[in-house]
Amino acid sequence: MTSKVVREILRETEARLSVHPPTADRMKVGDPRDLPARAASLRARGLSPIIAEIKPRILDRSLKAEEVAVIARRYEADGACAVSVLTQPTYFMGSPQNARVARKASSLPILRKDFILVEGQLDEVACDLVLLIAAFSEDLDGLVEAAKSRGMEPLVEVHTEEELIATLKTSTRVVGINNRNLSTLEVSLDTFERLGPVAKGSGLFVVAESGIMTREDVVRMEEAGADALLVGTSLMREPAFLPILNGAAHP
C-alpha cells in the first residue's frame, strides 16, 4: 500500500501519458558517463561520493534553465559524484529540460529521477542513469534492458527485501536503497543498514537514498556498504553543505 501522495503522482503520470504519449523516436546516449568510475575516483581522493540532487520542490517553485546550470556547476565544483535531476513536472516541479541543461552544464553523470512506468518515457531525455522504481515496474527486467539498450544505466530503487530480490534477478549493476517508507513516507536509515549489505554482497554498486542529513549519516551509510549517497533536500536548502557531507571540509 502506497501513501496518498505517491498514488496521486502515479495517477498524474498515467494521465499525462494518456494525453501526451511518449515519442516514437528512440533515444540513444552515445557518450554515457560512468557513475561507479566517478565514485572510485572520488574515493581515491578520500571523498565520499555524493549524488547531489536538483529538487525544485524544496524551493517551492520551478527553476529557470540558468538556475539549473548554476546548481549543476556548483555541485561539480564542490566535488559531487553525480547530479540527480527530478523531472516529474507537477508534485516535484521538475522537467526533462532540467536534465538536458544539467548535462550540458556539467561533466558529471546525470541521473534522471521520475516515475518511469513505460518504456517510451526513456526516450524523453538523454541521461547517463535513469531511476526505475521496482515497486511501480510491472516489467522491471524489461525496463532495465530497455534502458541499457539506449546507453542509460538503470538505477533500480528498492524499499523492501522483496523488491531487492526481484532486482537481483535483473541485469542491473546499480541499486538504490531508499530509506523512505512508501506507505507512511517515514524515513529510517535502518532500512539501508538491513538491505545494503545484501545488495553489496551480491556485487552491486549500492546507493543510499533519503534521510542523509549530516556527515555522520554519510559515514553510517558507508559503514553499511553504500558506494554512493543521494542527497537532495539539505543541498537544495544549502548547496555549500556539500563539502561537509563528502568530507572535503568540516563543520
For residue range 89-142, list pLDDT tens digits in order.
999 999 999 999 999 999 999 999 999 999 999 999 999 999 999 999 989 999
- Range of the structural domain that residue 155 is part of: 4-20+35-245
Q: Does some domain include residue 113? A: yes
pLDDT at 215 over 70: yes
Residues 48-59 have a mean pLDDT of 97
Residues 6+ away with beta carbon under 8 Å from 174? 35, 36, 129, 153, 154, 155, 156, 204, 205, 206, 207
Total tally of structural domains belonging to the chain? 1
Whether 250 maps to a domain, the answer reads no
| Catalytic residue positions, numbered | 53, 55, 113, 157, 178, 209-210
CA separation for the pair 174, 163 (Å, rounded): 14
* Residue 26 placed within a domain: no
Overall pTM > 0.85: yes
Predicted local confidence at residue 55, as pLDDT: 96
Is it the case that residue 21 has pLDDT exceeding 80?
A: no
Judge whether 30 lies within some domain. no
Residue 27 domain flag: no
Residue 29 belongs to a domain: no
Average pLDDT over the chain, rounded to an integer: 94
Give the pLDDT score at 150.
96
CATH number assigned to the domain comprising residue 184: 3.20.20.70
How far does CA 174 lie from the centroid of its chain?
Answer: 11
In this predicted structure, the answer to whether residue 24 has a pLDDT above a threshold of 80 is no
Q: Are 208 and 221 in contact (CB under 8 A)?
A: yes
- The amino acid present at 225, given as its one-letter code, is G
Residue 152: predicted pLDDT: 98
* In the predicted structure, residue 19 carries a pLDDT above the cut 80: no
